Amino acid sequence: KNEVEQSPQNLTAQEGEFITINCSYSVGISALHWLQQHPGGGIVSLFMLSSGKKKHGRLIATINIQEKHSSLHITASHPRDSAVYICAVHNTDKLIFGTGTRLQVFP
Amino acid sequence: ETGVTQTPRHLVMGMTNKKSLKCEQHLGHNAMYWYKQSAKKPLELMFVYSLEERVENNSVPSRFSPECPNSSHLFLHLHTLQPEDSALYLCASSQTSGGSYEQYFGPGTRLTVT
């Protein structure tokens, strides 16, 4: 069992839909990252959070430290949001990654 | 553009070849990382260099040999690879002081071993 689990593994949506991707972890963490990986392979950091909630444009990330759970929400989804979203937790000095959620948004 | 560049972006090599992957960061960071991303698996940390010293080596086969000549450059030397080594190899950098954990990733090198 992975120390970082994401659900769902694959997600399809129609443009405009509200999207939620979940991440659960089983280790102690100092921070949690949400990353976006486009088909070309490059990874971009979306959020780093250790408590509460952060918002950037149409993206919202929340974390519940007690429940060891984080969610990434996308409001008014758009085809350009299609990517793999990866949750990673910072444990001691290393990042532990989930397997990612592949999102496809259709017009 | 994250400030981390990798070359080449794509590489096809035979099992008897020797090649090197290059990573360069322009962010003034003091730590650099090599990750391997295989299909349907989480990113796997291969090596960590902090202040140009290797501080982590996660049981990576000796056919992968890292080199960090200075804090801005990181190489991964490849020798007699196997087809299962085909993957996306990602470089990242971070600043380990000041309580910052954020890593900045390069675009990756897509490696195919034939």
pLDDT at A35: 92
* pLDDT tens digits, one per residue of A3-56: 999 999 999 999 999 999 999 999 999 899 999 988 777 788 898 898 999 999
Would you call B41 and A99 a contact, using CB atoms and an 8 Å cutoff? yes
- Using a CB–CB cut-off of 8 Å, the residues of B that contact A are 2, 37, 40-43, 45, 48, 56, 88, 90, 92, 96, 101-108, 110
Closest CA–CA distance from residue B83 to any residue of chain A (Å): 20
DSSP B62-96: TTEEEEEEETTEEEEEEES--GGG-EEEEEEEE--
Q: What burial class does residue B102 get, using C-beta atoms within 10 Å of its C-beta: 0-12 exposed, 13-18 middle, 19+ buried?
A: middle
Report whether pLDDT(B18) > 90: yes
* pLDDT tens digits, one per residue of B68-96: 999 999 999 999 999 999 999 999 998 87
* pLDDT tens digits, one per residue of A48-88: 898 999 999 999 999 999 999 999 999 999 999 999 999 99
